[in-house]
Amino acid sequence: MNQDHFDERARILEAMDRLLTGEATASNGSMTTAALAAEAGVHRMALYKRHVDLKREWEERVRRETKQIPETERRLRDTVAKLKKTITNQRAEIEELRQLVTNLTLASAVLADQEKSASTIPATIPHNVIPLYPPTN
């Protein structure tokens, strides 16, 4: 590792301390990885690529020292909650569709039975009804 790498790590560690004490100088002071990168004067991707350990340490310190959930975890929790709600709604919809299929199957059986009965027993057709199929004699 070169000196620039060590300097960058030192700036990140100092930025962590400033943000956690509420003395932000170069960022908006939020407890996010982006704010940490801005406060340290490094590109955000440096935390995600070169300094993953410091990013994890940051998230752990935010959780431990401020009793806050890191932004990434909060977004994941929100996504999980939405997906659980979606699954619940889909299960209810599937059950509703199963009931509809059962009802339609029963209705179809009743209609088929009526059609079979109607074809064997000649029925009198009222004068204002036009049959779709002429009666068979």
> Is residue 128 situated within a structural domain?
no
Query: Structural domain tally of the chain?
Result: 2
pLDDT for the residue numbered 95: 97
Residue 131 falls inside a structural domain: no
Between helix 33-40 and helix 3-20 the angle, nearest 10°, is 120
The predicted structure's pLDDT at residue 89: 97
Same domain assignment for residues 8 and 29: yes
Residues 31 and 53 in one domain: yes
The amino acid that residue 122 corresponds to is P
Please give the pLDDT value at position 53: 93
pLDDT of residue 119: 64
**Residue pair 95/87 in contact by the 8 Å Cβ criterion:** no
Please check whether residue 86 lies inside any domain of the structure: yes
Contacts of 137 (CB under 8 A, 6+ apart): 122
Question: Hey, what are 48's tokens?
Answer: 């995600």
Q: Are 70 and 62 in contact (CB under 8 A)?
A: yes
Measured distance CA(41)–CA(13) in Å, rounded: 12
The pLDDT of residue 54: 92
121: three-class secondary structure by DSSP? coil
Whether 129 is in a domain gets the answer no
Instruction: Please tell me the predicted confidence (pLDDT) of residue 136.
Output: 66
Give pLDDT, residue 117. Answer: 72
Identify the pLDDT of residue 118: 64
Instruction: Let me know if 15 is exposed, middle or buried by CB neighbors in 10 A (0-12, 13-18, 19+).
Output: buried
pLDDT beneath 50, residues of the chain: none
Residues 6 or more apart whose Cβ sits within 8 Å of residue 73 = 59
Determine the pLDDT at residue 1. 60
Give the domain extent around 92.
72-113
